[in-house]
Structure 1
Amino acid sequence: MGYENIRFPEGTKFLVTGSAGFIGSNLVEAILKLGYQVKGLDNYSTGKKENVEQFINHPNYEFMEGDICELETCMKACEGVDYVLHQAAWGSVPRSIEMPLLYEEINIKGTLQMMEAARQNGVKKFVYASSSSVYGDEPCLPKKEGIEGNLLSPYALTKKVDEEYGKLYTKLYGLDTYGLRYFNVFGRRQDPNGAYAAVIPKFIKQLLNDEQPTINGDGKQSRDFTYIENVIEANLKACLADSEAAGQAYNIAYGGREYLIDIYTHLLNALDKDIQPIFGPVRNGDIKHSNADISKAKEMLGYDPDWSFEQGIEAAIEWYKENLGVEVGISFR
C-alpha cells in the first residue's frame, strides 16, 4: 500500500512537467524523498516559484524553465529521462469555456509534443494527467472506464483528445502511455486564490478569514475527492506497470462520494466556525455527480489508495493553517 516502498533502479531519472504546480511539486518532493533524480519543467503560467524553491539546491533536482508548446523545449526536457510524469496543463472547466483556443494550444498540442519528445528520446513510460471530466453527462455511478457521455467543456475535450493520442502512441510507436483520470484532487500546496481556485482550499481559506463562501448550485452535487498522496502513488505505480496496461486510461480516486454541503459542514466543525454559505448559480459545464470505480487501476496498476477523504481533509486543513499563518484547533465532530 502507498508508495514509500516503491523501488526503481539506482540512478533512475524522472521528468515532471508542470513541476511548479500543485500536483507536480508534490510529485517532485515524493520522488526526491525516495532517492531518485528529478528534472522539473514549468513556465510558471499557473505554477508558483515558491512551490519549487525548496528543491533548488537538492543534488538530485534539476529545474528547467520552459514551455511545452515549444517542441525544442520538450525534446531537451526528455533527454536522459527514464519516466515522464506529464502534469503540465491548464485546469478549470469555466476558464476553458472562456478560452478554448488557449486550452487547445496547451493541453492538446503541448501534450502531443511531450509524447513525441518522449518517443524520440526513448523514454520508458509516459504517464499523463487526464480528468474525470471526460465522463461528461454520463449519468451512471460509479464512473467506469469505457462508459463516457457527451463532453461538456473544452477542458474535458482536451483531456479526451490526450487519451486518444496516448492510445495511438502506444499502438503505433510503442511508447507506453498511461492516462490517469484524476477525480477532484486536493491537498497541500493547492492554490486557494483566484476565480478558478478549487473548492476545498478556497473554502478553507475563506473560513479561516471569517469570510462567507459561495457554493455554486444547491450544494447537493457530489464528488470523489482524492487526497494528493493517492495521486502520487498512482503516478509511480503506473511507471512500474506492465506494458499490457499501456495505451489506456485509469480512474484515480479513493472511490468515495462526498456531497459539497457535507464537506462545507465538515470544514465548519473542523475550524469551529458558524458561517452560512451563499448559494450561487450552477457553473456552466459542471457535472452533478462524480464517483469512481477504481477496480481497473487496482487490477492493472496495483493502485491501492491509503488516504480516505477524512484523513486527507484533516491533513489539508493542518497544512493551510500553518501556511496561512492561522492558529486554529481541529476537531471533527
Structure 2
Amino acid sequence: MRVLVTGGAGFIGANLCRLLVTLPEVESVTVLDDLSSGDAANVADVGINLVRGSILDREVLAELADGATHVIHLAARPSVPRSVKDPVTSHAVNATGTLFVLEACRRAGPGRMPHVILASSSSVYGDCPEPHKHEDLPTRPLSPYGASKLATEAYALAYAGSYGLPILPFRFFNVYGPLQPAGHAYAAVIPAFVSAALKGRAVTIYGDGEQVRDFTYVGTVARVLADAAVRRVTSTTPLNLAFGTRVSLLHLKNALETVLGRPVEAEFLSARAGDIRESQASSQLLLRRFPSVRPVPLDEGLRLTVTWFEKTQGATTH
C-alpha cells in the first residue's frame, strides 16, 4: 500500500499517519498539506514524506495521486462559525478541493485508480429531530460548512457511479483527542474546554449547555480509517463514523471535572449561528462493515487528551 493522506499534518491526519506507518501492509505514506490548519511538527520523525501544498494545486495532486494505491482525503477548511463568516473559502477548499482530488484519482486510469476514503461531516444532517442520525435521513445543512461537506460526499459517490472510482465516504461526529489545537477562535469544544481548564480559566459554553454531541476519540477514528484502507472497503452510501454516544456540553464539563479532580467554572454566551442542537449518530451501518471496532469511552479519551495537553502546555491539574 502506498498511501496519500491529504491534510495529513492536521489533527486527525497526523494521528492516522502515526498508525499507518506501523502497519506491515503499508509501504509508504505521503502527506499533502498546506499547513493552514495542520502543523509539520505533528508528523516530524514519523516516517512519512511531507509535501507542502494545496489540494487546489491540480499539478501536485495529479503527481501524488498517480503513485498512490490509496488516498485518504482529510484536507478541509473546518469550523461551522468560520464558514458562516467566509462561505466562499469554505466551498473552495471543501467542495472544489475534493473535486480536484477525485479528478486526480480518476485520471490515474482504469485498473490504476486508487481506493479513496474521504471525510464528510455530521453537519450535513442539520437540525433533524431524529434522535439518532441514520444515513437514510434527509440532509438539510444549516451552515455553509455543512453544505460544502454534503457536496464533498455527493461528488465522491458520483465519481464512483460514473467512473468506477472505489469510494468510502465517512461522516465524522465531533472527533477529539491528542494533537487537536485549542489556541484559536474556531477551536473545537473539547480542546477548548481542556486548554481553558488547565489554565484555570472558565470554559465557554455557547447557549444553555444542553446541546448534545456524539464525541469520538481520534484513535478510534484512525483505526477505522486504517482498517478500511487495508481491506479496501467501499460503500454506495456515506457511513457515520461515531457510536451513538449522547453527551451534553454540561455533562462534558462534569466529566472533565472528574478527570481533573476539581471544579471547572463555565461562562455562558449566546448560541452561535449554524450550531446544531442535537448530533448523535446511528452506528448500525458502521458496525456491519467494521464489527470488531470498539470505541474508546469518553472518560478514557478525556484522560488521554488531558495528559497530552499537560505535556504540551506545561500545565498541571493541581
TM-score (norm 1): 0.90
Letter in 2 for 1:273: R
Give matches, 1:128-277, under 5 Å.
128-240=118-230, 245-277=234-266
- Number of residue pairs aligned between Structure 1 and Structure 2: 313
* CA positional deviation for 1:241: 5.0
Letter in 1 for 2:120: S
Q: Does the CA contact (< 8 Å) of 1:169 and 1:247 recur in 2?
A: no
* CA positional deviation for 1:242: 6.4
Aligned residue number for residue 107 of structure 1: 94
Separation of aligned partners in 2, 1:88 and 1:132: 16
Q: Does the CA contact (< 8 Å) of 1:71 and 1:117 recur in 2?
A: yes
Question: What is the percent sequence identity of the aligned residues?
Answer: 35
Question: What whole-Å deviation, never above 9, does each CA across 1:57-111 have from its counterpart, x for those lacking one?
Answer: x3xx211111101111110121211111100001100100111110111001111
SS at 1:134's partner residue?
helix
Separation of aligned partners in 1, 2:261 and 2:297: 22
Separation of aligned partners in 1, 2:38 and 2:95: 18
Please say if 1:326 is aligned against 2:315. Answer: yes
* CA positional deviation for 1:306: 3.1
SS at 2:167's partner residue?
strand
Q: Does the CA contact (< 8 Å) of 1:141 and 1:291 recur in 2?
A: yes
Question: What whole-Å deviation, never above 9, does each CA across 1:178-225 have from its counterpart, x for those lacking one?
Answer: 111000000000001111001111111111111112100111111100
Of the candidates 87, 94, 110, which is equivalent to residue 81 of structure 2? 94
Question: Which segments of 5 or more consecutive residues in structure 1 lack a partner in the other structure?
Answer: 1-11
Give matches, 1:2-81, under 5 Å.
12-35=1-24, 36=26, 37-55=28-46, 58=47, 61-81=48-68
Letter in 2 for 1:151: P
Q: Does the CA contact (< 8 Å) of 2:220 and 2:295 recur in 1?
A: yes
SS at 2:208's partner residue?
coil
Deviates more, 1:229-238 or 1:174-183: 229-238
Question: Which segments of 5 or more consecutive residues in structure 2 lack a partner in the other structure?
Answer: none
Question: What whole-Å deviation, never above 9, does each CA across 1:274-297 have from its counterpart, x for those lacking one?
Answer: 342111111110111111111101
Q: Does the CA contact (< 8 Å) of 2:204 and 2:269 recur in 1?
A: yes
SS at 1:73's partner residue?
helix
Q: Does the CA contact (< 8 Å) of 1:181 and 1:252 recur in 2?
A: yes
Please say if 1:299 is aligned against 2:285. Answer: no
